Amino acid sequence: MQLSHDELLKVYRTMRTIRRFEERVMDEMGTGDIPGSTHLYAGQEASAVGVCFQLQDGDYISSTHRGHGHSIAKGVDIDGMMAELFGRASGTCGGKGGSQHIADLRKGMLGANGIVAAGAPITCGAALSMKLLGSRQVAVAFAGDGAMNEGVMSESFNLAKIWNLPIVFVIEDNGFGEATANALVSAGSFTRRAESYDIPSIEVDGTDVFAVYGAAGEAIERARAGGGPTMLHVHVPRYYGHYSGDPDTYRTPEEKKAMRQERDCLVNFRRRMNEVSLLEEAELDAVDTEVEAAIDQAVSAARAAPFPPLSALTSDVYVKYL
């Protein structure tokens, strides 16, 4: 599972980009210039990056309401994403989708989704098309722990297994469905639920990008080789509240401080690189500087971009079939 020097730098750069993108979005939400609300992915970067770095350009993913990290990890342009959040015409969806509908089919990103678990059946559809075409592509459905209590998730597991689809379900478990602790509302084990459908499952530490990368590689190779679905149960921290306006009073200040100190995938990555002498601190610091400049540029470009014209109101509403 050895990554090259350049690949390691790219892994760090992508995780750092997600982190700074989300921190900057949180700051910009305070200005009132980003309409609606946002659900931030900060703390969970190793999950998206570890999975997506095992994917090929032609593979597909679906996301959740917490979709910025998945989009960046799959290669969606941060300038287009930031413009989308600001509601500008240069956004990935023309400024009409906003945070919960980030999508870029050119990058294999089928879309974020405001409906819990709704990405899973969409991804089953993509995986079915891949199987029928014999393309050896793979589809990944990201979902949160709350999705495991939705009926459509069970239906998607069932479809994926009976049709032996090339799909990986990635359950990012941050311990809370909105403000409710998962332990209070979820019976039994997520991995045993998947295994009840004869779907192999793997528990993963979502603060260790290498652990996620290894587990995702196993699951994706199984899917690509015709071995059917796998579920990854990835345990991740969530640094901010459920959404940008959430006061997050259901977790104590001590809990949140310990989470940031002890469960930071970026800190863990830097420590690992120092221990094995694969990357120099100066290289990682240079990446931090470059990422900061890129995020500044994305915000400046978004603020300068025009809003969609009134004529765009009725475009992209219906699909035109030839």
Contact 146, 174 (CB under 8 A): no
Containing 203, the helix (H) or strand (E) segment is strand 201-205
What pTM was estimated for this model as a whole? Answer: 0.96
Q: Which helix (H) or strand (E) holds 199?
A: none
Phi-psi region of 75 (alpha: psi -120 to 50; beta: other; left: phi over 0): left
pLDDT at position 319, please? Answer: 77
Q: How far is CA 316 from the centre of its chain?
A: 25
Strand partners, 201: 231
The DSSP output letter for 31 is T
Sign, CA torsion 118/246/244/190: negative
The secondary structure of residue 75, as a DSSP letter, is T
Condensed to tens digits (0 to 9), the pLDDT of residues 43-93 reads: 999 999 999 999 999 999 999 999 999 999 999 999 999 999 999 999 999
In the chain, the domains with their CATH numbers are 5-305 (3.40.50.970)
HEC per residue, 127-161 = HHHHHHHCCCCCEEEEEEHHHHHCHHHHHHHHHHH
Evaluate whether 212 touches 170 at the Cβ level (below 8 Å).
no
Phi–psi pair at 137, nearest 5 degrees = -75, 165
What are the tens digits of pLDDT across the range 186-243? 999 999 999 999 999 999 999 999 999 999 999 999 999 999 999 999 999 999 999 9
